[in-house]
Structure 1
């Protein structure tokens, strides 16, 4: 297990950008639910789905992250020469080559002295990105790191696949991590179970041909007009079981490692898989639901690597703008990977979610 404590870094700002284009669950009632409004209402009530924001045309994850980054840099009055590194966390890059981070470094007109690299991570990716940024500052390699995390999974989900089509929304986020003299340490724990890599997978599209010798779940090869091997696949039941089994342990682990009590945590921000999963995890941990926001999925969809910063901007931005908060951030999913951190956000810049038109 990767376990880290950092004392020199802080999060100063978080900005989230989502596409203005959106769809309500009812918009797919005929194509996905045979016109059954009762089924739609059951899904809205049980899972918490309602609306998702998705890109149209040629808009990519980098476009959303670029807009979020420009707002952050302008409003925070950060000189573009001050950014020492840019980390792009996503599983929907613009290109296989070059790294989208390099492309964004040029688009944002950052200094040539800026390091730039991509991290191929999804649901736990934001915590992974924070871990890397904190490490870079802790080792005196950087003073300011720009973390850009986002995904446009609507581009890889078959719109006819009722198992996943209505789950996922698109978003791009920008987070500024910088050197700090604060006495508030940050704590991280990270895990991986790659033996279950095919629980969430896009089988085709890269360089390995899908093979039953490697992929264990034979349902992945069951294709139709609703899903090809180039489309996103998820074993929903396995993901649910993984989530409710690992997340309570992950939260207890980060609390023990950081030495803080659950009662002293202001909010636990989970990856917004869906409301049903989050409420189940919260119940197992005996966390009051108002301490574990779960409404963001219903407004914007499951935003993969962007869901944690998006939830901060959506659900608690007024609080983090005005006072010091002790938080736990916890991501879990594709990989299978899970990661948690305990940190303090102290009157950071965190505006309402902005829209990409």
Structure 2
């Protein structure tokens, strides 16, 4: 049966048990200080997947956490969407493995999609389409990422930023938050500015070509490379128009929004964006000090925390926005009614 609206029914997440603190990073890079990392990046600690622990493993545990909350049962799930850029295998699809390990029904859809920091918003758009088209009734949207497996051990910049984790969200025809209209964007010309070049079919073999830039950070085709200045410029150019377009598409004024939940990239970037868009600090949510930048997981982790600490409450209108690798960006409004 077709539905006119789609809702978030519940959200949960899971973090790996291993924790890397700023003190741990300073031990490896004595030129840094604990206070410098905390003040500039905004991260005090991050959870890291251990060897043999994959994004699929984390996503399964996030889903189990969600089911244990009792808002939805496994038997009612009829579609799995899994957002990851660190899948277990090239094939088979990780979502198929997840279906089996969770013991979900076999008469359901399951697929992976490859997106980074915009992935949660894109996942909501896909799930809403499935619900409103009558293709599914309860979509399990999972995000899972282990970016730390892509980082060179001497990459002090990115090691301060990224954490690993997973989230689970159920989207249905009823729930705690109605999903609004979407604004989405793509610019593949920036692909080389945040990339792991080797390991796919374009460049299957490792190049063993590590060099060090002027800041002492490694640059290699075999590990994650991020051009921080270009990513920063992209973000400042695209996120303010994204927020404006989200408001227009949802016929809302900025002052009517109770909370803005952005992808938790790093504190410096979030502060800059907040001031540029002119959002009051009490209406802007920060949620990265205990988690780091967990890529596609940052928004659902932030939403769960904001619900639990009562920052989000009944009748809250919440703008969410994801942006990053691709380049890719997207946003929508969530109308909470519980």
What's the counterpart of residue 241 of structure 2? 249
Q: Quick one: distance in 2 between partners of 1:232 and 1:181?
A: 38
The answer (yes or no) to whether the contact 1:7–1:184 under 8 Å persists in 2 is: no
Question: How far apart are 1:52 and its partner, in Å?
Answer: 0.9
What's the counterpart of residue 328 of structure 2? 337
SS at match of 2:139: strand
What's the counterpart of residue 16 of structure 2? 19
SS at match of 2:245: helix
Deviates more, 1:226-235 or 1:300-309: 226-235
Work out which of the residue numbers 306, 311, 321 in structure 1 matches 2:302: 311
Deviates more, 1:254-263 or 1:176-185: 176-185
Question: How far apart are 1:222 and its partner, in Å?
Answer: 5.5
Q: Quick one: distance in 1 between partners of 2:177 and 2:164?
A: 36
Question: How far apart are 1:46 and its partner, in Å?
Answer: 2.4
Question: How far apart are 1:322 and its partner, in Å?
Answer: 4.9
Q: Quick one: distance in 1 between partners of 2:6 and 2:203?
A: 42
What's the counterpart of residue 38 of structure 2? 44
Residues paired across the two proteins, number:
330
The answer (yes or no) to whether the contact 1:101–1:116 under 8 Å persists in 2 is: yes
Work out which of the residue numbers 272, 280, 284 in structure 1 matches 2:276: 284
- Runs of 5+ in structure 1 lacking a partner? 1-5, 212-219, 348-357
- Runs of 5+ in structure 2 lacking a partner? none
Question: How far apart are 1:314 and its partner, in Å?
Answer: 2.5
The answer (yes or no) to whether the contact 2:16–2:58 under 8 Å persists in 1 is: yes
Q: Quick one: distance in 1 between partners of 2:117 and 2:26?
A: 27
Q: Quick one: distance in 2 between partners of 1:183 and 1:165?
A: 34
Question: How far apart are 1:98 and its partner, in Å?
Answer: 0.6
Question: How far apart are 1:179 and its partner, in Å?
Answer: 1.1
Q: How does 1:1-357 map to 2 (within 5 A)?
A: 7-34=4-31, 36-37=32-33, 40-76=34-70, 78-180=72-174, 186-209=180-203, 223=211, 226-294=218-286, 296-319=287-310, 322-347=313-338
The answer (yes or no) to whether the contact 2:306–2:312 under 8 Å persists in 1 is: no
TM-score, length-normalised on structure 1? 0.87
The answer (yes or no) to whether the contact 1:221–1:229 under 8 Å persists in 2 is: yes
Q: Quick one: distance in 2 between partners of 1:104 and 1:319?
A: 32
TM-score, length-normalised on structure 2? 0.91
What's the counterpart of residue 351 of structure 1? none
Q: Quick one: distance in 1 between partners of 2:220 and 2:179?
A: 46
Q: Quick one: distance in 1 between partners of 2:24 and 2:56?
A: 27
